[in-house]
Amino acid sequence: MKIFVLNCGSSSIKYQLFNIEQKELLTKGIVEKIGLKGSFLKNKRNDGDSVKLKIEIPNHQEGIKHILDIITDKSHGSLKNLNEINAIGHRVVHGGEKFNSSVLITDEVIQKMEECIELAPLHNPPNLKGIYSMKKLLPDIPQIGVFDTAFHQTMPAKSFMYAIPYSLYEKHSIRRYGFHGTSHRYVSQRACETLNLDYSKQKIISCHLGNGASIAAIKNGKSFDTSMGLTPIEGLMMGTRTGDLDLGVLFYIMNKENLNSKEAYALVNKQSGVLGVSGVSNDMREVEDAARNGNERAKLALEMYFYRVKKYIGAYAAAMGGVDLLIFTGGIGENGPETREDICKDFEFLGLEFDKEKNAGKRGEEIVISKANSKVKVTVTPTDEELVIAQDTYEIVTKL
Ligand code: ADP
């Protein structure tokens, strides 16, 4: 069965096409700079064929049309025609309290997704554009929505409630939702599978460290707590986001710097984090290089980054009454051996015996980086959100 996965952002569309029974990725690509100058489409087939087309792409629907053209193209395509696609899986960022698992997209579901827009005004609208475009272009093919927030819907109220007037939760649904749920779900299940552990009986801490970063406590197979909140700003220090911040600081800055709420939002979302502290970059590789060359602020940014992940691991171990498995994933988690070593330092008191040799120099590999006798297992588990979306889509459409 061929499953087409779409991940529509505000100015980009990522896509992958799977032969799902074999977990085989047939082709993948990206459309970038939608509605901007210099828009292009890049397609990479699994046999190595690669093509980049510089074309004007004024909107998402046009972008998707070009994608459908290239995947059925005689020279660069993977399909003879579009009828070969059995189902489409969409990444949807925010499902609010309305969705706790992946669903078949119906008119009623779209209505509910529309209602979630106010919770993610930047992310959900492009996701919906993808859904509307596909409905128009391929109306007979079932579409499935897979939500970043769904996995975290199992959190208990003590984890998801903010200490604000309860009426604001009732009135505006203000609470912690968490993100990266598809990734946390995938890597936690995958790591248990590879280590032969019973998923339903583990206390797991999953660190998704990318440009955006979040950490999740997963107890007995269910998300118990996670660091991102109503929005992706809360929690760990990130590439350009503050993570946890004394709210008083924000009011103080707004006063001192005369910022309105939009400017303040941009400050905590786009100008802070590793970039803000280091003044070098939001890209860890560049910050690590600068630190190696003696840049003190880059060193400080890295120290803060590691320390904050460490604090969350401690907090979640306490929250769950222990930890059996610690997982690293995301661009930095998968490719940053120094980051992993630093974060895992001095965790012997938890029963974590880190294996420096197994960890050193390893990038993008699925490996165990704890010693054989370590009570807490530590893994690097590369994430694959698109595969999860394809698998969820497959499971739902085969039951239709
Ligand atoms: P997102 O999906 O949130 O945009 P990614 O998961 O792609 O982010 O992660 C991006 C981060 O991963 C960047 O900070 C980048 O520096 C880091 N990264 C990618 N490859 C490497 C590497 N080889 N070594 C260290 N960091 C890396």
364 located within any domain: yes
Residues in the chain: 400
CB 287 within 8 A of CB 301: yes
Tens of pLDDT along the chain (400 residues) come to: 999 999 999 999 999 999 999 999 999 999 999 999 999 999 999 999 999 999 999 999 999 999 999 999 999 999 999 999 999 999 999 999 999 999 999 999 999 999 999 998 889 999 999 999 999 999 999 999 999 999 999 999 999 999 999 999 999 999 999 999 999 999 999 999 999 999 999 999 999 999 999 999 999 999 999 999 999 999 999 999 999 999 999 999 999 999 999 999 999 999 999 999 999 999 999 999 999 999 999 999 999 999 999 999 999 999 999 999 999 999 999 999 999 999 999 999 999 999 999 999 999 999 999 999 999 999 999 999 999 999 999 999 999 9
83 and 207: one domain? no
Residue nearest to atom 22 of ligand 1 (CA): 335
Q: Which atom of ligand 1 is nearest the CA belonging to 212?
A: 3
Ligand 1 close to Cβ of residue 387 (< 6 A) = no
134 and 212: one domain? no
Tell how far the Cα of 207 is from the centroid of ligand 1, in angstroms. Answer: 13
125 and 206: one domain? no
257 and 323: one domain? yes
211 and 87: one domain? no
371 located within any domain: yes
Q: State the pLDDT at residue 162.
A: 98
Q: Which CATH number does the domain housing residue 31 bear? A: 3.30.420.40
125 and 203: one domain? no
208 and 353: one domain? yes
Number of domains composing the chain: 2
Tell how far the Cα of 64 is from the centroid of ligand 1, in angstroms. Answer: 26
Q: Could you count the other beta carbons within 10 Å of the beta carbon of residue 86? A: 16
Q: State the pLDDT at residue 122.
A: 87
255 and 356: one domain? yes
Out of 128, 147, 166, a domain closes at 147
Ligand 1 close to Cβ of residue 364 (< 6 A) = no
Torsion-angle region of 214 (φ positive above 0: left; ψ -120 to 50: alpha; else: beta):
beta
Ligand 1 close to Cβ of residue 181 (< 6 A) = no
278 located within any domain: yes
185 located within any domain: no
Domain span at 224: 198-385
Residue nearest to atom 2 of ligand 1 (CA): 210
| Set 49, 148, 324, 384: catalytic member | 148
107 belongs to the catalytic site: no
Total-model pTM: 0.95
232 and 330: one domain? yes
- Cα separation of 271 and 240, whole Å? 5
Ligand 1 close to Cβ of residue 332 (< 6 A) = yes
Q: State the pLDDT at residue 307.
A: 98
Ligand 1 close to Cβ of residue 239 (< 6 A) = yes
Q: Which atom of ligand 1 is nearest the CA belonging to 208?
A: 6
175 located within any domain: no
118 and 204: one domain? no
| 3-state SS record for the chain | CEEEEEEECCCCEEEEEEEHHHCEEEEEEEEECCCCCCCEEEEEECCCCEEEEECCCCCHHHHHHHHHHHHCCCCCCCCCCHHHEEEEEEEECCCCCCCCCCEECCHHHHHHHHHCHHHCCCCHHHHHHHHHHHHHHCCCCCEEEEECCHHHHHCCHHHHCCCCCHHHHHHHCCCCCCCCHHHHHHHHHHHHHHHCCCHHHCEEEEEEECCCEEEEEEECCEEEEECCCCCCCCCCCCCCCCCCCCHHHHHHHHHHHCCCHHHHHHHHHHCCHHHHHHCCCCCHHHHHHHHHCCCHHHHHHHHHHHHHHHHHHHHHHHHHCCCCEEEEEHHHHHHCHHHHHHHHCCCHHHCCCECHHHHCCCCCCCEECECCCCCCEEEECCCCHHHHHHHHHHHHHHCC
103 and 224: one domain? no
- Cα separation of 21 and 367, whole Å? 25
159 located within any domain: no
Query: What does the CA dihedral 385, 388, 389, 391 come to, rounded to 10 degrees?
Result: 160
Tens of pLDDT, residue by residue over 196-240, are 999 999 999 999 999 999 999 999 999 999 999 999 999 999 999
164 located within any domain: no
Out of 127, 147, 167, a domain closes at 147
141 and 202: one domain? no
Out of 147, 165, 187, a domain closes at 147
- Cα separation of 255 and 63, whole Å? 43
Q: Which atom of ligand 1 is nearest the CA belonging to 282?
A: 14
381 located within any domain: yes
Ligand 1 close to Cβ of residue 363 (< 6 A) = yes
